[in-house]
Amino acid sequence: MRQLHFILVATCCSLALASPAQDLTNAPKTEIENFEAQTGKVIIKGFGQTGSVTVDAGVISVRCKETADVATGIKEYGIAIKFDGNNRQEAFAIVDYDELDALLNGMNYLGKITYDVTPMPSFDAAFTTKSGLRIAAHSERRQGGIHTFLRFADAPRILLTSDQLAQFQNLIGQAKATLDSLKNK
Mean pLDDT by 10 residues, the chain (185 residues): 44 40 59 94 96 94 97 96 85 95 97 92 94 94 85 90 96 97 89
Tally of domains in the chain: 1
* Among candidate residues 68, 106, 92, the one with its CA nearest the CA of residue 185: 68
Cα–Cα distances in angstroms (integers) from residue 36 to residues 13, 39, 68, 87, in the given order? 32, 9, 8, 31
Which is it for strands 91-96 and 158-160: parallel, antiparallel or unpaired?
Answer: unpaired
**43 falls within a domain:** yes
**20 falls within a domain:** no
pLDDT of residue 117: 92
Identify residue 75 by its one-letter amino acid code: K
pLDDT of residue 13: 40
What is the residue range of 177's domain? Answer: 31-183
**52 falls within a domain:** yes
pLDDT of residue 3: 54
**79 falls within a domain:** yes
Task: Kindly compute the dihedral angle of the four CA atoms of residues 169, 173, 175, 181, in this order, to the nearest 10 degrees.
Answer: 180
**50 falls within a domain:** yes
Cα–Cα distance, 55 to 166 (Å, whole number): 12
**35 falls within a domain:** yes
pLDDT of residue 24: 46
Give 1's strand partners.
none
**10 falls within a domain:** no
pLDDT of residue 98: 97
pLDDT of residue 17: 40
Does the pTM of the predicted model rise above 0.85?
A: no
* Among candidate residues 180, 172, 162, the one with its CA nearest the CA of residue 80: 172
CATH at 128: 3.30.2450
Alpha helices in the chain (DSSP H): 2-26, 31-36, 100-112, 162-183
**24 falls within a domain:** no
CB 44 within 8 A of CB 67: yes
**119: exposed, middle or buried (Cβ count in 10 Å: 0-12, 13-18, 19+):** exposed
pLDDT of residue 25: 54
pLDDT of residue 87: 77
pLDDT of residue 8: 39
pLDDT of residue 7: 41
